[in-house]
A and B are shown apart, each in its own frame.
Chain A
Amino acid sequence: MTERMFVQGNEAVGWGALYCGCDGFFGYPITPQNEVTQWFAHEFPKRGKVFLQSQSEVGSINMLFGGAAAGFRVMTSTSGPGWGLMQETISHCVAAELPCVIVLVQRGGPGAGSIRHAQMDYITATRGGGQGGYKNIVLAPSSVQEIHDLIQLGFHLADKYRNPLVILTDGILGQVSESIEVKTIDFGPLDKKLWALRGRERQEDGKSRIVNSAVGVLPLPPYPNYISWLKHIEEKYREMEGSELRYETYEAEGADLILVAYGYTARVSKEAVNMARAEGHKVGMIRPITLWPFPYSVIREKAMLGCKFLVVEDSLGLLIDDVKIGVEGRTDVHLVGILDRHIPTDGGMIMPGRVFEEIKRLL
């Protein structure tokens, strides 16, 4: 069943989660993602699902650990300061192989920074922000429809790999309303969660289970030691890199200049590409949909053809590092960043006109 709705990006998080069988949401309100918490508070309890407002983001993420360990589809949502507080337990979720979805609606930083939009948590989202150098898939929607769709894909991939997964949005995408189609998306079958802690009497084999996030301290079958377990984790990461890479190209064929952007700045960049194409400039865009794994190969391919790159991100420059890795020094990589906003306040935004100006300067 498909339903057409006009909703904010933050509300689309909820609709996506509802339509893919999310069982519980645990969260603490923080701007600019308050509508996410509000949506779940309003919609989940009346449908017999769990909404719990935690005492802090440390509480939320530990509730996720518990819910995921019991085999439920669970999620939380936060912004920069709350994201910082969650890191320790996200690392434990990776170690214990607990699938869960964390929505990060980015705002300005560092510190309390600003309560308005920004894209300043790219590195901690894509590089394993907590202890131990772990990996997790990061999905980056750039429209309200895509938020709804990627939440569903996110739960599927989290379950498939038994790993936490991050949906990275921003304050603009969270606030904007767009018309969307709400429906359940089928990504294929998944294994039963036979590892989940459900109580011995509910297990098919009648045996108890242990969820363990300290394998080096307490080795358990099937991993006789720490290194054999690390090898298993590493194989999972390689499989994610090999199978889950997603990106979109726009007008990239034959382009002399390629814009790279995700989230709200990808929308701005698309408009700027249209403005440039209307004046006959050969400009295109690569939009990573997975920020980890990152589409280095397509960046490298374009760099080998001699394309220049322009990264558009609402930060001092974080995504640009991944683009430079892909380019391998072959060509120039430029940035339109947070210092290029249309007004110098936390309400300033990177506008299409500013990106278009930079395109004309570079060509």
Chain B
Amino acid sequence: MNTVSYDIELADWRTKALKLESEVGKIIVGQTKAIRLMTTAIFARGHVLLEGGVGVGKTTLLQSITRGMGGAYERIEGTVDLMPNDLIYHTYLNSEGRPQIDEGPLLRAGENLSVFFFNEINRARPQVHALMLRVMAERHLQAFKKDYRLPHMVVFADRNQVEKNETFEIPSAARDRFMMEIPIEIPESREHRKSLIFDTKFQHAEVLTQQVEDHILQFDQLNSFSDTIQRHVRSSPVLEEYALDLWEATQEPARFGIKLDGVEVSRLVQAGASPRGMGMLMKASRVNAWLNGRDSLLPEDIHAVFHEIIAHRLVFNPMYDSKRTALARELTAQIINTVVVPGKH
């Protein structure tokens, strides 16, 4: 591919990506940042944990994005009695009164599956987590004596962070498989809140979703285009040093002079970001640079995704684990505020 067509392809996809954001933004109000992060995850081909309360519009957001990117959308609810095979098949009596086995939500769409939503993943048992995490990593599964490939699947999982009864916390190794944890908050603007409760168009999520233009993206080309983005966006030596400093700061924040109120920082972190996590950070940063029309990384590209990619990966000392959400947010903010670039190397 020559340079001109290469540039045209990048520009063309960028236009589509911005159109997707714009279409979704029309029906999901007050979630601009979340939409940008989800677009980033889609183009970086990373799985996403969603953080937020109930009824904030996570499902509608996902369905809208799926409609815009094309492909199939599947969903399953995490419950305490959910078993791994519930994801793969389900049995029922057919019209002839005979037992029949059909593919479950994970396999039903086959290679067309683009978005799989696992609602309240922490209500499911660890066996289910294990299967899901394996599929996320390998993107294929053997069942019914054949190999199911899910090459275009991106998993979005929601964690119920409020209720802890009958939940199974996702271990750090499993959390690390998710590229991002994106907070979906209730919009802060009163105008947005007002429209959410008074504008009748928000009463029917299905109708709302239909307003999004479909197939803006070609979901089955995203993998190859993601590689194109990664090759296209460069990083300077100064930025690479900066990324390494950030990584070390997640492991030893005290060494960088990071301070948190009421926290003994030197004892806070048991394990910082993993190499996979840092790799995902740079991958998502490159997508952010491309979305902003650049072919080189800037620190702000890293900042745009730093918290969402790093916070859920940090393993804290158990004495601080009860406050991990707040502390992780504070720590990542302090790391960005404290680690200098250019550093004096």
Tell whether A and B belong to one assembly: no
Which residues from chain A sit less than 8 Å from chain B, CB to CB? none
